[in-house]
């Protein structure tokens, strides 16, 4: 891994929820993930566009307690990626996460495929809000114009931003090394983006196996924070 990084100048890091579990944010598919916890409805249903429209109040109860974890701090993985970017080794982070931890760690070029809990807007007038508009509302958060304030996160059944996809694919197609970490690679179109990588080495870091293991040059089954903490940035 260290040798691959030493030879790379345009690394793209492609990450999922597993990148943030060491910051205390549960992922979807681990044993302690949201899919293993019992709610009144399956978590993937609650986080869908139709559910948001039909059960808005329940959605916000869930979203506030399970997704809006604003106290979470970046871990060793987030910090090392910011360091690699600063040193000119990494060109972009592409993330499926909505927790904003890459920016908190100091990364500059981050493509947040599924949006961010830090951006929120009124569905009627478009006014922007910080996440405390949702934290501090007891039930459904409303704008002063009467519209519902919605987080700028991509729910199941919604489309990803065209600009974000374009930027991410451009970075991936120019990358000389791709590090894929902490994602079960089950959620599309995000997982399909890996096909745009035409560069040198593909490194996969995940606690468990993934459908892409056989495509990787190096598979590391360990904790991302612990693996990246050992990397020396030259």
Question: Does the footprint of ligand CNA cover residue 224 (CB under 6 A)?
Answer: yes
What CA–CA distance (Å, rounded) separates 182 from 33? 12
Question: Does the footprint of ligand CNA cover residue 17 (CB under 6 A)?
Answer: yes
Direct distance between the N- and C-terminal alpha carbons of the chain, in angstroms, rounded to an integer:
14
Stretch that binds ligand CNA, among 4-12, 79-87, 137-145, 184-192 (CB under 6 A): 184-192
**In the complex, minimum distance from the CB of residue 162 to ligand CNA, in angstroms, rounded to a whole number:** 18
The residue count for binding ligand CNA (CB under 6 A) is 28
DSSP state of 176: S
Query: CA dist 176 to 5, 6, 76, 82, Å?
Result: 10, 12, 23, 18
| Binder of ligand CNA out of 80, 89, 201, 223 (CB under 6 A) | 223
Give the three-state DSSP class for 3: helix
Question: Does the footprint of ligand CNA cover residue 89 (CB under 6 A)?
Answer: no
Task: Say whether the peptide bond before residue 189 is cis (omega within 30 degrees of 0).
Answer: yes
Question: Does the footprint of ligand CNA cover residue 151 (CB under 6 A)?
Answer: no
Site string for ligand CNA, 95-124 (x = CB under 6 A): -xxxx--------------x----------
Nearby residues of 148 by Cβ (< 8 Å), 6 or more positions away: 56, 122, 123, 124, 140, 141, 142
What CA–CA distance (Å, rounded) separates 138 from 116? 21
**Catalytic member of 49, 78, 102, 114:** 114
Question: Does the footprint of ligand CNA cover residue 6 (CB under 6 A)?
Answer: no
78 is catalytic: no
Phi-psi domain of 20 (left: phi exceeds 0; alpha: psi -120 through 50; beta: other): alpha
Nearer to ligand CNA, 11 or 180 (CB): 180
Which segments of 145-214 are extended strands (E)?
149-153, 177-181, 201-205
| Binder of ligand CNA out of 8, 13, 14, 18 (CB under 6 A) | 18
Residues that bind ligand CNA (CB under 6 A): 16-18, 20-22, 25, 27-30, 33, 96-99, 114, 182-184, 186-187, 205-208, 223-224
Catalytic residues: 114
């Amino acid at each position: 891994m260290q040798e691959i990084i030493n030879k790379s100048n345009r690394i793209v890091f492609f990450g999922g929820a597993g990148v943030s579990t060491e910051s205390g944010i549960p992922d979807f598919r681990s044993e302690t993930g949201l899919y293993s916890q019992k709610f009144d409805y399956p978590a993937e249903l609650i986080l869908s566009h139709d559910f948001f429209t039909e059960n808005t109040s329940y959605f916000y109860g869930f979203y506030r307690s399970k997704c809006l974890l604003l106290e979470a701090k970046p871990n060793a993985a987030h910090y090392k990626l910011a360091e690699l970017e600063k040193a000119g080794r990494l060109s972009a982070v592409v993330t499926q996460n909505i927790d904003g931890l890459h920016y908190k760690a100091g990364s500059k070029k981050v493509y947040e495929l599924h949006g961010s809990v830090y951006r929120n807007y009124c569905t009627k007038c478009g006014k922007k809000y910080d996440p405390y508009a949702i934290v501090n509302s007891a039930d459904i958060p409303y704008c002063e114009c009467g519209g519902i304030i919605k987080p700028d996160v991509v729910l199941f059944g919604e489309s990803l931003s065209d600009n974000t996809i374009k930027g991410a694919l451009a970075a991936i197609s120019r990358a000389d090394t791709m590090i894929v970490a902490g994602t079960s690679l089950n959620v599309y179109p995000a997982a399909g983006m890996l096909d745009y990588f035409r560069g040198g080495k593909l490194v996969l870091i995940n606690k468990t196996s993934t459908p892409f293991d056989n495509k990787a040059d190096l598979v590391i089954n360990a904790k991302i924070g612990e693996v990246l903490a050992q990397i020396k940035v030259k």
